[in-house]
Structure 1
């Protein structure tokens, strides 16, 4: 399918679907409770994004202290930013999607799935384990030497 068509469909279709859901919820519980519920989800979402953002930042610092690249943590930060934007938009569908992105195992699974589908993440070569210590894979050759003077 054409990416431009998908973008247009999302640009036009998503707000219309959100509007439809807001109207339906408003007809069931009333206009004022619907507005207050939408504001409440935005405030709660912002607080949760901030809390998890600090957690991801601490994990980035720990990863850097170990001398590793914090790739997964950086991607988690980007997904958290998307979740925060979705939670600030008025509407219940984007709120549900934003809250789902705040669940850490689901967020990591989403990141890994996107990386696998894009071809960025590839399986490890046969015979290697992800949990292996790289120091243990070093071949050590023992021997003796002596320095002879010229």
Structure 2
């Protein structure tokens, strides 16, 4: 796990810096800064909207006596996507938007579900049911 974290800490800023240089060369510095701020604002608004929708869906499922498993995974994706949208950068914004946007969210939800089920099978994650 530490190797992956060290790799991400080195790789993500490097890729983001490269993207900023490329975009700034094509659009100019002013438009690049505006684009960065605009994606953060739009992403934040989108995250709020989708987050509220996920909370309403989860509440409705719990009131109906169901366990909101898929909805909770959607909530995790929206939260992680929102965090990525807050980070300045174009690649993190692309990943963040795809995690927040409902049509592309299954790209992340399915691997997350497989990872969680694997961790539950090997005993790394436990849950309690009332």
Name the TM-score, length of structure 1 as normaliser: 0.73
Unaligned runs of 5+ in 1: 122-150
Q: Tell me whether 1:81 sits opposite 2:82 in the alignment.
A: no
Q: Cα RMSD over matched residues? A: 1.7
Contact 2:36 2:89 in 1 (8 A): yes
Name the TM-score, length of structure 2 as normaliser: 0.83
Contact 2:81 2:95 in 1 (8 A): yes
Counterpart of 1:57 (choices 55, 58, 67) is 55
Counterpart of 1:27 (choices 20, 25, 28) is 25
Higher relative contact order (CA 8 A, sep 6+): 2
- Alignment coverage as a number of residue pairs: 119
Question: 2:67 and 2:36 mapped to 1: Cα distance?
Answer: 38
Please identify runs of 4+ aligned residues in structure 1 that moved more than 6 A: none
Unaligned runs of 5+ in 2: 120-130
Instruction: Determine which structure has more spread, i.e. the larger CA radius of gyration.
Output: 1
